[in-house]
Structures are given as structure tokens and as C-alpha cells.
Amino acid sequence: MASYDKAFESYKKALTTAASVAASMMLVRSVVNEVVPPELRELLFSGFGYLRSRTTSDHTIIVEKKNDGFGNNHVFCAVKTYLATRMNTDIQQRLRVSSMDENDKMMVSMDDGDEMLDVYEGTEFKWCLVCKDNNSNDSLNGSQNESQFFELTFNKKHKDKALRSYLPFILATAKAIKAQERTLMIHMTEYGNWSPIDLHHPSTFDTLAMDHKLKQSIIDDLNRFMKRKDYYKKIGKAWKRGYLLYGPPGTGKSSLIAAMANHLRFDIYDLELTAVMSNSDLRRLLVGMDNRSILVIEDIDCTIELKQREEGEGHEESNSTEQNKGEGKVTLSGLLNFVDGLWSTSGEERIIVFTTNYKERLDPALLRPGRMDMHIYMGYCTPESFQILANNYHSIEYHDTYPEIEKLIKEVTVTPAEVAEVLMRNDDTDVVLHDLVEFLKSKMKDANEIKTEHKEANSQLDEKKDDKDNDKN
């Protein structure tokens, strides 16, 4: 009992001492604020802060929500996005859940006053979200000011690492997260301007019915392009890449473009050349594109008559009327000037895609390297692309009908779009695959009949030719 009384007395003395010290500090602070001039007071406080920093091994960085109390701080938003992906919900005692609207996914973040530990390259960084009421009324509207900020605490020997490596890493990671989560847009020309709508095309390289080696070569080429900003700058070329997609209708050209957009997280600008009145209008549209985007000109061989640059310079100089007519059209030189001319540097990190069903109809000036860097043939359905389609539409890896279907596909000219249309007719896998067999057999029968008709027609022509030769003799 005596030992308990003694401990209680010690505890009581400690509380009394702490209260006395706190009261003394408050008194000193009050006296300093009243007596000491502001300039000297600031010097004293900074001196105390310096002494305190010399006696502790920790360093703290403040990341405020607002810049100077007004504009949003980009670093704060990036930290919030980054920490949401690093949070261990099993450890955090309090969580804050929010979303922008009913269609947006929930975002889990720290609550006010919570702390969490993050490890970067073996170094521990402690984050704390602080929310403070300033307890001072705004003189204009009487509203109470509130400040919110993150405190980043770490061992002071890692200060350079925090500023030069860790925080830039957070900014880059947050940028990648937002780019991955944002809704892609497809822009169309309307009254001479770009008109955007949301792009929700589900096509990806995983679902694309294409030869695996060709598909992988496209992915590798896109990924290499994304990493070569400094390389393009070093060699003095615009940071862009051109792709020509050619082949019969229904072979997946549009699906490949959507897969490229989803892979890169790039917006699509769908340019209808027939809606553009002149080269100057074309230039204004193309300059108005954002970076990190895909310019698409589909069916370029038939959307507009692109004249050779070499044609008719003397004819255009014949009179002013002809000059005005020429200026009112989009020309091949006007398009090429953006693809690889002076105007090609008006933006960066851009993909240019031309599509055509007939590559041989295109002007050679469009096809050379530096304009269309990669030529991709989109061919008819193969056994490999059929298997991808069957897995996409019916989630199967193999079926008893596969050998017969693959044999027929090797012998019949059929597009992936035609195969996909048959696979969508019924939810029953057995039924739909047998329907596909019958469809392919029907295609083969029609093809054989056409071949027979052509053979007979050619035979008749040969006979007529022989008869004429005999008559002459």
C-alpha cells in the first residue's frame, strides 16, 4: 500500500510539473508575441526550429491540398491517388470511401488523422493525412477556413531520395493510374470541328482474332514507340508512328484500331476527309488534336481523290480561277505535309492509321517508310483466329467439331466477321458449331460452282477464239 501511495505521489508531481511547464511556455509565447517585434520573433522561432531539427533524426515534408490557399495542388492529388493503391485495408482502422457518380468506381482513401507506412526501394516513408480548422473567419463571407495536407516523415538521411526519386515516382505512378482509368474518347468531325463522345469499344489484343506472331509484333512495336521519346528527339524526327491496315472487308481493321487505343489508352480522332473542304481546314483540324492520340483515316483509297503532288503545277498557274479551284480541295501534298512535313511536329506521341481494302490503289507517296512505317495485312480467317473467336463467344478451348471446322477454313475463303456472325446466332455451343460447319460447307459449294462456271466460260471463249482462227485460215 505504501508503494502505491508513493507511485501516486510521483505521478501527481509529474502531472504538476508538466502543467507548470506548459503554462510557462504559453506565458513565454504570449509575452514574446506581445513584446518582441515580428522580425525578431520570426528569427527566434526559426532558431528554435533549427535546434529541434538538429536533435531529431526525422525529416518532414508537407504536401498541401491548395496552392497558396486557392488552386489545387497537383502533388496532393497525385499522392492521394497513389496511396489509395498502396493501402492495406486489413490494417487501416478507418477508411474513407468516395466516388464521383453512380457509374464511377469507389475510391478508398485515408481518413483525417490516419497514418500509413510505405516502403520504396527499401526505405520507409510514413504518411499522415492532417485536417485543421484555422479558426479564423473569412472577412468577406464569414466562412471558416479549413486546411488539409499530407505529412511525409522519413529519416533525414533519405531527404535527397525523397525529393529526387520517391516523389517523382509517385507523380509518374499517379499519372499512369489516371490514364488507365479515364474514359477514352472518339472524336468526329462536325461543322469543321472535333466533336467527342465516349469510346467504350471492348476490343483488346487478347480478344483480337489474329495470328499470334503478327499480333505480338504489333504490341512490341507500339510498346517500343512509347519508350522512344528521347530517341526521336535525338534523331530529329517527330514522335509519331504510321500504320497501314489493308485487306478485304470484315477482317478486323476497325477492331485492331480499337485494341490499339485500349492498349495505349489513347483517344481516337476519326477523320472523314470528304467532310474537309480545303488544306487549311485539314491543317486546323489536325493541329487541334491532343497529344497521345490516334488519327484514323479509313478507306483512304475511296474517301477522296488525292491528286499527285507532281501533277499540273503549270496548269494551276494558267489562271487565278484554276488556282482558286485547287485551293478548295484537300490534296495529297496537304495530307503528306502533316504526316511527315513541317506540320508533323505540331504534336507528339501520336499514331497515324490509314485503312484500305485495296493497297494497290494507293499513291506510292503514302506508302514509303516514315509515313506508313508498318504495313499490316488483315487477312481471311485462319484456324488460329477461329479458336480465338470461339473462345471469345463461347468460352471453349476445344470441341469435337474443331478438326472439321479448321480443315474447312483452310479451304474456304471466309472472313472473321462472317465466322463471328455465325457464332452469335445461338448460345448453345454444340448447335452453333454445327451451324458453322454447315455454313462453311455451303461457302465451299458456292465457291466450287463459281469456279466451274468460270471454267466453262473460259472454255467457251477459247472455243470461239479457235473457231475465229480456223475461219481466218
pLDDT digits (tens, 9 = 90+) for 5-48: 665 666 667 667 666 766 666 666 666 666 666 666 666 655 65
Does 223 lie in the same domain as 152? no
Alpha helices in 278-378 (DSSP H): 279-287, 300-303, 313-316, 320-327, 332-340, 364-367
Answer with the residue of higher pLDDT: 348 or 220.
Answer: 220
Does 434 lie in the same domain as 367? no
For residues 295 and 238, the answer to whether their CB atoms sit within 8 Å is: no
Q: Is residue 26 part of a domain?
A: no
Does 438 lie in the same domain as 291? no
Does 422 lie in the same domain as 394? yes
Does 369 lie in the same domain as 271? yes
pLDDT-wise least confident of 65-79, 351-365, 393-407: 65-79
Answer with the residue of higher pLDDT: 161 or 139.
Answer: 161
Mean local confidence (pLDDT), 74-87? 88
309/28 Cα distance (integer angstroms) = 85
What is the reported pLDDT for 352? 93
Residue that terminates a domain, selected from 123, 155, 181 = 181
Does 387 lie in the same domain as 356? no
Q: Is residue 356 part of a domain?
A: yes
Q: Is residue 463 part of a domain?
A: no
Can you name the residues that pair with 127 across neighbouring β-strands?
A: 116, 152
Does 400 lie in the same domain as 371? no
pLDDT-wise least confident of 75-84, 103-112, 346-355: 103-112
Residue partners of 376: CB distance under 8 A and separation at least 6: 214, 218, 243, 244, 245, 246, 256
Q: Is residue 82 part of a domain?
A: yes
Does 365 lie in the same domain as 236? yes
Q: Across all residues in the chain, what is the average pLDDT? A: 80
Does 155 lie in the same domain as 113? yes
What is the number of structural domains in the chain? 3
385/411 Cα distance (integer angstroms) = 15
Q: Is residue 205 part of a domain?
A: yes
33/29 Cα distance (integer angstroms) = 6
Our measurement of the distance from residue 441's CA atom to the centroid of its chain's CA atoms, rounded to an integer in Å, reads 43
Residue 319 cell numbers, joined:
489562271
Q: Which range among 43-52, 235-244, 442-451 has the greatest average pLDDT?
A: 235-244
pLDDT single digits (tens) 185-213: 999 988 888 999 999 999 999 999 999 99
The residue whose grid cell reads 481523290 is: 305
pLDDT single digits (tens) 314-341: 444 444 444 444 455 787 777 887 777 6
Q: Which residues of 20-49 are buried (b: 16+ CB within 10 A; e: fewer)?
A: eeeeeeeeeeeeeeeeeeeeeeeeeeeeee
What is the reported pLDDT for 323? 45
- Structural domain of residue 254, as residue ranges? 185-305+329-377
Q: What is the CATH number of the domain that holds 229?
A: 3.40.50.300
**In what side-by-side order are the strands of the sheet with 267-270?**
193-198, 185-190, 267-270, 293-297, 350-356, 240-246, 374-377
Is the pLDDT at 463 greater than 60? The verdict is: yes
For residues 389 and 252, the answer to whether their CB atoms sit within 8 Å is: no
Q: Is residue 270 part of a domain?
A: yes
Can you name the residues that pair with 96 across neighbouring β-strands?
A: 109
Residue 91: which pLDDT band, with cuts at 50, 70 and 90? Answer: low
Residue 389: which pLDDT band, with cuts at 50, 70 and 90? Answer: very high
For residues 158 and 60, the answer to whether their CB atoms sit within 8 Å is: no
pTM over 0.75: no
Answer with the residue of higher pLDDT: 247 or 97.
Answer: 247
Q: Which range among 62-76, 95-109, 250-264, 314-328 has the greatest average pLDDT?
A: 250-264
197/185 Cα distance (integer angstroms) = 6
For residues 188 and 194, the answer to whether their CB atoms sit within 8 Å is: yes
Mean local confidence (pLDDT), 175-181? 83
What is the reported pLDDT for 143? 45
326/304 Cα distance (integer angstroms) = 14
Mean local confidence (pLDDT), 275-284? 86
Does 280 lie in the same domain as 237? yes
- Provide φ and ψ at 197, rounded to 5°: -135, 160
What is the reported pLDDT for 55? 56
Does 241 lie in the same domain as 254? yes
Q: Is residue 10 part of a domain?
A: no
pLDDT-wise least confident of 79-93, 126-140, 379-393: 126-140
Does 373 lie in the same domain as 437? no
Alpha helices in 57-118 (DSSP H): 74-86
363/437 Cα distance (integer angstroms) = 41
- 211: helix, strand or coil: coil
Q: Is residue 50 part of a domain?
A: no
The H-or-E segment that residue 230 falls in is helix 229-235
